[in-house]
Amino acid sequence: MRLTHGLTALWATTSIHAATLQKIEADFPNPTNVGFYLYAPDKLSPNPPVLVSPHWCHGDALAVYNGSSFASLADRYGFIVIYPDSPNAADKCWDVSSKGTLSHQSGGGDSQGIVNMVAWTLKRYKADAGRVFVTGVSSGAMMTNVLLGAYPDVFAAGTAFAGVPFGCFAAPDGSRDYWNSDCATGLVQVFHGTADEVLNYTNFGEEVKQWTSVLGLCGSSTPAKTEENNPFQNWTKYVYGKDGWLEAYSALDVTHNIGNHEDVAMKWFDLTCTTGNCFRWGQGGPKGDSLLNQTPAF
C-alpha cells in the first residue's frame, strides 16, 4: 500500500538528546532485513521497559527519532526505544499483509525481524520482558496492530494512530472470534481522524469491531463509556469493556496527519512509572487473570 502524505513535515522538529541513536548490526533471524536502530539513554532505569516505534510510509527510523519526543522521554524515564526501518525501498511502507508477517515467529516477514530486535534488546540491556510496548502512525500503526495480533506473548500494550484492521483476525469462515485464544493478552488503543484523506475513517470502526471481538467483549461496538473533548477539543474517547481494555479515539475534522501523541501513549503504557508497581504484560485483556503466574515470550 502506497501512502503519500505530509507526515515527514509534521515531524520536522529535531530533538536534542544526551545519548545518540545507534544502528545495530546483530546476528538474529531477520528474514526481510529490517533495519535496527536503537536509543538507549545514558541513565537507564533498572530492568528498563522497551518501546518499539515503527515509522510511516515514506519515512524512516531517523525521521521518527528526530521528530518525536520519545528519545527525550527515554532520557527522563530510563526506557529504551527501538526504531525499526522498513526494508521496502520503493515506498518505505511496512509489510502488513503477507502470510509471513502475519504469522508468529517462523513466518519470515517484517514482524519477525522486529520481534527479534526486541529479544536482542531484552538480553543486551537486561530489560523487562513484561514491559514491551509498540506505537506508530499510519503504516507504523498498521505494524502496531500486526505486532499486537501476531505476538500477543511479547507486547503488553499498543497504540495505533490512523491505521487499519489487522489481517490476523481473518478466519477460514470470516469470524473475528477465531483469534481470541491467541490475541487477547494486551491493552489496545486506536486513534483516527474523521477527515483522513489517505486511510478512510471507516477503518476506525473496523478496528473497533475486531479488537472488541478479539478481546472477548462480545464483538460489541457499543462503548461502556464515552468522553467528549478528550484528550483534545472535538476528540471523543470511547472506552470498551468495564476494565477499559480497548480505548478508541475519534478526532473530528482531523486529517491523516493525526500525529503520534506521546503523552497519551506514555500514560497508556505507564511508561512514566519507575517503581516496581508498573503496568506489565498479563495485566490487561480478558486473559489477564489467567496469565498472572505466567511470563511473556522472552
Which positions are catalytic?
138
CB 228 within 8 Å of CB 222: no
Q: In what order do the strands lie in the sheet with 157-161?
A: 22-23, 35-39, 80-85, 50-52, 132-137, 157-161, 187-193, 246-251, 235-240, 225-228
What distance separates the 2 farthest-apart alpha carbons in the chain? 52
**Exposed, middle or buried, 45 (CB in 10 Å: 0-12/13-18/19+)?**
buried
Distances (CA, A) of 203 to 10, 208, 251, 290, 295: 22, 9, 13, 31, 33
